[in-house]
Structure 1
Amino acid sequence: MSKAILSSFVEGAPPGELTDVIADIKALTISTPSAVKDLGPAFQKYNEEQFVTVKLPGSSQQVIISSHSSLGDGRYYDVESSSSFAFDHTTQKASAVQSHVVEGSQADLVKSTLKSISTYVKEHFPNAASGVYPIEDDSKIAIVIVSNKYSPNNFWNGRWRSLYIFDPSTSALEGSVKVDVHYYEDGNVRLLTNKPVAATVSSGTGAGIAKEIAAAERKYQEELNRGFTNLSEGAFKGLRRQLPVTRQKIEWDKVASYRLGQDIGGGSSRR
């Protein structure tokens, strides 16, 4: 099996299910033990794009893996804990924690935005993490939010991802919200959404940025709720009859005595 095909398996792994995908890849490539080791770039792309979270050694805090927090050579940093760390993209484990303090012209805006975003995230998301990073030679900042909800015992997992870029020179805030939910009991159903967001931050402060993000995400969540209601009342309901053609509920305790053609179908039975 080609490396490109195996990489596509990794990059398409649903939230919280990368370990299962790796196990399947090992089973498919049992004659090529080095196959998983060769997929390092695919694992890195997946972890960075999915905003995978990891706990630093000795800490209960979840920090985010993303291209915006990358220092190169497999190391990443976290503003809130003022630390950098090595990250193994295959095992999704962090190690070798060191001190790392954010400096530069956007340092104060990064810290104030992180404070406001952290408050918003704690109030509105379960199992969530957030990060704010200076990017593009310290000319802009990136705001990242990720919330994971895993319920494998009930055959579903989900992830909410937000990424915004704020330009202090224009007060423009642009980004997107992505929702990925996988339900796999007796089949596979997957919801994938990508909602673009564009706004102008009037105050240009961390609190102002958080306010615009909160408003945009609240609006999108309301859109999702309406969409699910419409699906439930419309398309999903249209997939099957609520009642048999007789318009009467079946009395299941008497089902053994029904004559299929006449009693259930409503027609005359032929002998």
Structure 2
Amino acid sequence: MDPSQQIEAASKFLLQAPPGEINDVLNDVRNIVSDDESLQAGLLPALREYNLAQFTTADVPGHNHQSIISEAARISKPSTEGEETEESDRFWDPRSRTSFRFDHLSLETSEPEPVEPDEESEPFRAALESASLTYLAAHYHDGVTSVFPASGSTSRYYVQIVANKYNPSNYWSGRWRSEYTVDLEERTLKGRILVNVHYYEQGNVQLSTTHSIDLPLPPTITPSSAAASASKVLALVEAEEGKYQTSLNETYTEMSEKTFKGLRRALPMTRSKLDWDKVLGYKLGAELSSNRGMFGSS
């Protein structure tokens, strides 16, 4: 396999890395591509794609909170030819009005700069952010939320939430991602919830689900009443996420009680239940018979 094929194979492994395990995958693929310099350069596009899609979180320079790294957070987009540049790896945190450079390999931030938000869209964005932080504190033990205005629009916003739970000592990890587009002009709330869980004790099982949401916005949600309207948007989010969580619980209960039991034979080939007391008696009798054969009968 030539180096380019090795890089391509390694990139595919990276893009399928379970939550919180990308460093483990990186260390494994180093055995495929022995040249670290070529490995880092060749895998950078895959790392960038992974971090953006997985809502990787980053420490905001000079502040005590994290922001989500995503396509919506990019300040500069790739060139028209699709080429990534150093400037396309600059992101911003509207909450602190700070932009920064993000290293997709080390996951570190640097070169902070102040950013002034759009005056027209900022009031409603800030209200959505405040409502999102309240919702996050009430429903997520350890999560991060970011709210971004859509580029070139003063009526469309992205609400993003990510929560990670890594438990390597018990061989599992998980990630919840949700993203919602609030469009005040089209009067819609569209979104998706993505859940990834990896369980790998004496096996390798992954769960990957996607749930889409498409709701009309009530007429009472307007830019003029930003705080009240933002709370109503997050109430819709809360209801949808609650219903989805309930449906997941019901699905797994049904799988445990019906689906998995259906995969096992209820009775042995004799079509009757085993009497374990008799089985122990048979074993004891066999051992006694064997001993009599060895030492002779009295």
Fold conserved between structures, TM > 0.5: yes
Offset at residue 75 of structure 1 (A):
1.0
Call closer, same or farther: CA 1:115–1:240 in 2, change over 3 Å.
Answer: same
Call closer, same or farther: CA 1:258–1:225 in 2, change over 3 Å.
Answer: farther
Call closer, same or farther: CA 1:220–1:240 in 2, change over 3 Å.
Answer: same
Give the alignment partner of residue 138 of structure 2, picking from 123, 133, 140: 123
2:289 match: none
Give the alignment partner of residue 229 of structure 1, picking from 243, 247, 253: 253
2:172 match: 156
Instruction: Note the 1:47-58 alignment, pairs <5 A.
Output: 47-57=51-61
Offset at residue 27 of structure 1 (A):
1.4
- Percent identity, please: 33
Are residue 171 (structure 1) and residue 187 (structure 2) matched? yes
Offset at residue 23 of structure 1 (A):
0.5
1:61 match: 65
Give the alignment partner of residue 180 of structure 1, picking from 163, 172, 196: 196
Call closer, same or farther: CA 1:169–1:246 in 2, change over 3 Å.
Answer: same
**Greater per-residue strand proportion:** 1
Offset at residue 102 of structure 1 (A):
1.9
8 Å CA contact 2:61, 2:100 repeated in 1:
no
Call closer, same or farther: CA 1:178–1:249 in 2, change over 3 Å.
Answer: farther
**Greater per-residue helix proportion:** 2
What is the RMSD of the two structures over their aligned residues, measured on CA atoms? 2.4
2: CA distance between counterparts of 1:58 and 1:148? 23
Report how many residues are paired.
259
2: CA distance between counterparts of 1:23 and 1:255? 54
Call closer, same or farther: CA 1:105–1:189 in 2, change over 3 Å.
Answer: same
Q: Secondary structure at the match of 1:108?
A: helix
Instruction: Note the 1:1-271 alignment, pairs <5 A.
Output: 1=1, 2=5, 3-30=7-34, 33-57=37-61, 59-72=63-76, 73=87, 74-139=89-154, 140-202=156-218, 203-204=220-221, 205-241=229-265, 246-248=272-274, 250=276, 254=280, 257=283
8 Å CA contact 2:136, 2:143 repeated in 1:
yes
Offset at residue 37 of structure 1 (A):
2.3
Q: What's the TM-score once normalised by structure 1's chain length? A: 0.88
2: CA distance between counterparts of 1:259 and 1:158? 52
Q: What's the TM-score once normalised by structure 2's chain length? A: 0.80
Call closer, same or farther: CA 1:75–1:235 in 2, change over 3 Å.
Answer: same
1: CA distance between counterparts of 2:172 and 2:137? 23
**Structure 1: tracts of 5 or more residues without a match:** 261-271
Call closer, same or farther: CA 1:254–1:37 in 2, change over 3 Å.
Answer: farther
Offset at residue 17 of structure 1 (A):
0.6
2: CA distance between counterparts of 1:125 and 1:148? 10
Q: Secondary structure at the match of 2:186?
A: coil
1:266 match: none
2: CA distance between counterparts of 1:249 and 1:17? 46
